Amino acid sequence: MSKKIYLYGNWKMNMTAAETKKFFDEFSGVYKPADDLEVGVFSPFTSLWALAEGAKKCNVVFGAQNVYFEEKGAFTGEVSIPMLKEIGVKYVILGHSERRHIFGESDEMIAKKVKAVLDAGMIPVLCYGEKLEERESGNTFTVMERQLKSAIKDLTADEISKIIYAYEPVWAIGTGKSATSEQAQEVCEWSRKLIANPNVVILYGGSVKGSNAKELLSMKDIDGALVGGASLKPASFLEIYTAYKN
Binding to ligand 13P in span 116-175, by CB under 6 A: 168, 173-174
Closest to ligand 13P by CB, 173 or 202: 173
Under the binding rule (CB under 6 A), the answer on residue 10 touching ligand 13P is yes
* DSSP string for the chain: -PPPEEEEEE--S---HHHHHHHHHHHHHH----TTEEEEEEE-GGGHHHHHHHHHHHT-EEEES---SSSSSS-TT---HHHHHHTT--EEEES-HHHHHTS---HHHHHHHHHHHHHTT-EEEEEE---HHHHHTT-HHHHHHHHHHHHHTTS-HHHHHHPEEEE--GGGTTSS-PPPHHHHHHHHHHHHHHHT-TT-EEEEESS--HHHHHHHHTSTT--EEEESGGGSSHHHHHHHHHHHH-
Q: Which stretch binds ligand 13P (CB under 6 A): 44-52, 72-80, 129-137, 202-210?
A: 202-210
Q: Which stretch binds ligand 13P (CB under 6 A): 17-25, 28-36, 132-140, 204-212?
A: 204-212
Out of 216, 227, 238, 240, name the contact with ligand 13P by CB under 6 A.
Answer: 227
Out of 51, 55, 226, 240, name the contact with ligand 13P by CB under 6 A.
Answer: 226
Least Å distance between CB 33 and ligand 13P?
23
Binding mask of the shown chain, residues 35 to 54, with x at each position contacting ligand 13P by CB under 6 A: --------------------
Residue 116, Cα to own-chain centre: how many angstroms?
Answer: 17
Out of 63, 169, 228, 234, name the contact with ligand 13P by CB under 6 A.
Answer: 228
Task: Please give the backbone phi and psi of residue 164, each rounded to the nearest 5 degrees, phi first.
Answer: -100, 125
Closest to ligand 13P by CB, 105 or 154: 105
Radius of gyration of the chain from its Cα atoms, rounded to whole angstroms: 17
Out of 44, 54, 124, 229, name the contact with ligand 13P by CB under 6 A.
Answer: 229
Least Å distance between CB 203 and ligand 13P?
9
Catalytic residues: 96, 168
- What span, in angstroms and rounded, lies between the C-alpha atoms of 114 and 109? 9
Q: Which stretch binds ligand 13P (CB under 6 A): 25-33, 139-147, 184-192, 203-211?
A: 203-211
Least Å distance between CB 183 and ligand 13P?
15
Closest to ligand 13P by CB, 80 or 97: 97
Q: Other CB atoms closer than 10 Å to residue 35's CB: what's the count?
A: 8
Which residues are near ligand 13P by CB under 6 A?
A: 10, 96, 168, 173-174, 205-208, 226-230
